[in-house]
């Protein structure tokens, strides 16, 4: 029996936020917003349990965006000083806030969300945080000067947060690092080192998610430029396999990643992406099972966790729900 999970985010219901947006526009404020976020998280957890997903998340229902939701509580950032930034090596431009001084985390960011999720499920609970490199690729800097230095500073505060999440009963802490697929030399130079700093002292399971991005237009266009075989993973997998991270989340469904590259991660548990995150396609359970079976040519079955390719925040609620069900059913087909 394979234990399925998801990369992390899920769409917000229309009564919580404007749908199909990369940045949530909330429909409530104050305590009403917190109650609405909790209800949405609880419903998604129930959906995952019913779909047969073994390791559940709260679907990131409490945050505006997977990076900015964390950064909003961090001091040292000027949110008024917006800098246009060509993120993921100029794939698309976003107006980002700017780091203007030493960063600090005066209080927990997501711990209340984790505590609430823990209180409503007995399943294994995963909580996602943005990875240090991806944060540094989503925020401008006029203080640290070097990306590696700023990333290490973020790794320290991510570590404080991760330790609190673990204490709140989280079983898996995952760092999302889509930037690992773009800055492959930096991964080896300092990316893994910052992840190690972020997991320092954790006893729970640790994971890193590395994808080709949300199913948004800019990413789909970028993927068109990557040729017939996507081999970015090949450059970073040897260093990741040697790292202390337990699990690696990968994009395998409908992608041009040669699955033979999975054999480079022989010492890790692999979250094999078996449903894509494009909003116009719902995989069948048979398609999910076929992707998992293909991965088994290169990975022992006991190291595979069926998963989504990436977060599903920007797609329609019902599409994501159907994908969850296909994922759970497909995982059972190969059991």
Least gap, CB of 251 to Zn ion (angstroms): 7
Toward Zn ion, which CB reaches closer, 36 or 207? Answer: 207
State in angstroms the smallest separation of the CB of 88 from Zn ion.
Answer: 11
The length of the chain is 335
- Mark residues 63-102: x for contact with Zn ion by CB under 5 A, - for none: ----------------------------------------
199 or 310: whose CB is closer to Zn ion? 310
Closer to Zn ion by CB, 42 or 88: give it: 88
Please provide residue 308's backbone torsions phi and psi, each rounded to the nearest 5 degrees. Answer: -90, 155
The contacts of residue 219 (CB under 8 Å, 6+ apart) are 91, 212, 213
CB 190 within 8 A of CB 152: yes
CB of 176 to Zn ion, least distance (A): 6
Question: Could you give the 3-state DSSP secondary structure of residue 102?
Answer: strand
- Pairwise CA distance, residues 66 & 8, whole Å: 9
Count of residues engaged in binding Zn ion, rule: CB under 5 A: 2
Shortest distance, position 270 Cβ to Zn ion, whole Å: 15
Binding pattern for the stretch 302-321 against Zn ion, x by CB under 5 A and - elsewhere: --------x-----------
Phi, psi (5° rounding) for residue 278?
Answer: -75, 140
Q: How many CB atoms are closer than 10 A to CB 153?
A: 22
Residues 128-157 that bind Zn ion (CB under 5 A): none
> According to the binding rule CB under 5 A, does residue 211 interact with Zn ion?
yes
Closest CB to Zn ion among residues 39, 223: 223
Q: Between the CA of residue 167 and those of 1, 3, 42, 174, 205, what are the distances in Å?
A: 29, 23, 20, 15, 13
311: its two tokens: 């977060």
Shortest distance in whole angstroms from residue 104 CB to Zn ion = 27
Question: Where on the chain is the footprint of Zn ion (CB under 5 A)?
Answer: 211, 310
């Amino acid at each position: 029996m394979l234990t399925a999970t998801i990369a992390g985010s899920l769409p917000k219901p229309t009564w919580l936020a404007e749908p199909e947006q990369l940045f949530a526009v909330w429909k409530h404020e104050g305590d009403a917003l917190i109650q609405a976020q909790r209800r949405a998280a609880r419903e998604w957890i129930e959906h995952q349990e019913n779909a047969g997903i073994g390791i559940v998340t709260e679907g990131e229902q409490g945050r505006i965006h997977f990076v900015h939701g964390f950064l909003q509580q961090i001091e040292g950032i000027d949110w008024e000083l917006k800098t246009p930034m060509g993120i993921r090596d100029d794939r698309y431009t976003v107006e980002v806030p700017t780091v203007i001084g030493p960063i600090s985390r005066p209080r927990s960011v997501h711990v209340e969300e984790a505590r609430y999720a823990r209180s409503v499920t007995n399943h294994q609970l995963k909580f996602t945080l943005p990875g240090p490199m991806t944060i540094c690729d989503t925020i401008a800097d006029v203080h640290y000067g070097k990306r590696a230095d700023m990333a290490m500073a973020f790794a320290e505060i991510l570590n404080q947060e991760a330790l609190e999440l673990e204490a709140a009963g989280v079983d898996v802490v995952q760092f999302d690092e889509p930037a690992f697929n773009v800055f492959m030399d930096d991964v080896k130079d300092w990316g893994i080192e910052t992840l190690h700093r972020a997991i320092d002292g954790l006893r729970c399971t640790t994971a890193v998610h590395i994808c080709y991005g949300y199913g948004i237009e800019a990413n789909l266009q970028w993927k068109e430029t990557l040729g017939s075989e996507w081999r970015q993973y090949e450059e970073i997998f040897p260093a990741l396999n040697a790292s202390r991270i337990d699990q690696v989340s990968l994009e395998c469904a409908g992608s041009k990643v040669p699955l033979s590259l999975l054999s480079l991660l022989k010492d890790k548990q692999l979250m094999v992406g078996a449903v894509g995150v494009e909003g116009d396609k719902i995989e069948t359970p048979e398609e999910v099972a076929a992707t998992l079976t293909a991965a088994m040519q290169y990975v022992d079955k006991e190291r595979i966790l069926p998963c989504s390719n990436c977060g599903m925040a920007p797609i329609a609620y019902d599409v994501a729900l159907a994908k969850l069900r296909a994922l759970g059913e497909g995982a059972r087909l190969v059991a």
